[in-house]
Amino acid sequence: MITQINILKKCDNPEILVLTPLLPKHKISRETKVTLKRNKTPITWISCTNNQNIPKNHNDGIKWYKNKYKKLPPYILFLDNDITLSRKAIDKLYDKLKSTPPHIGYAYASFKYEGHINKEFPAVPFDINRLVKANYISSNSLFKMSVIEDVGLVTNDFYKRLLDWAFLLKCYGQGFMGIPTPESSFKAISSVNDVSAGTNDDYKIKSKRVYNKFIKPLLANWPYIIFDLACIPCVRLFSSS
């Protein structure tokens, strides 16, 4: 299936490309549409739909925009289809990120899951020792486009349950870290079929692969990272406990 692109909001000179990846069965929630309007930062918002995987949506959306408009905006926000943003959430991420030094690659908000999983993830200070154990940062973050171009997205669909984690580790491996933005937040509805609701065995397999491909190289380059290797194969990123 060829990726279908829909322009949901267009700005002639956007600061941010908002990209929402969709599978054919997905629809963008009313809450996402309404709360996105509560921001003043100039954006262009597109959705990308195919029946393959989210990484392909991300890549195809960026390529499509660049081919059509010849250049990319300086920032990109990956926005899921079921997000309720707090007021001016995007503005606050943008204000936090725009004046940061080059090694700060993205700004991340606090977020909360409700439904099958009920858990809050506050935007705490970036800590690689914590990140190598389990992810606490959402992919619904604002990235510098230059970081996406330098690092490249994680495209292997094997990681679809742990895609956020793998990508953030890849960013750190190439010298980029995030900046917390607790004044910005969002809420997501969690169902039993969400990618964050996999089985323990599923997480064991994929966590082991993330460790071998992304964490192990970090240890070689940053030997001061200290954590319990035994926790990696059985980590459960979005535990309801």
Average pLDDT, the chain: 82
**Residues ≥6 apart with Cβ < 8 Å to 224:** none
pLDDT band at 237 (very low <50, low <70, confident <90, very high): very low
Mean pLDDT of 176-198: 78
According to DSSP, the β-strands at 142-144 and 104-115 are antiparallel
pLDDT band at 229 (very low <50, low <70, confident <90, very high): very low
Higher local confidence (pLDDT), 130 or 222: 130
Q: What is the pLDDT of residues 116-168, one digit of tens each?
A: 778 888 999 999 888 888 889 998 999 999 999 998 877 666 666 677 888 89
Mean pLDDT of 213-229: 62
The domain limits of the chain are: 4-234
Q: Tokens representing 237?
A: 């990123």
Q: What is the pLDDT of residues 16-33, one digit of tens each?
A: 999 998 877 778 888 889
- pLDDT for 47 beyond 70: yes
- pLDDT for 223 beyond 80: no
- pLDDT for 185 beyond 80: yes
Which of 20-29, 71-80, 169-178 ranks highest by mean pLDDT?
71-80
Q: In the chain, pLDDT over 90 holds for what percent of residues?
A: 44
What's the fold here for domain 4-234? Answer: Spore Coat Polysaccharide Biosynthesis Protein SpsA; Chain A (3.90.550)
**Residues ≥6 apart with Cβ < 8 Å to 99:** none
Residue 182: name the closest of 125, 120, 123 by CA. 123
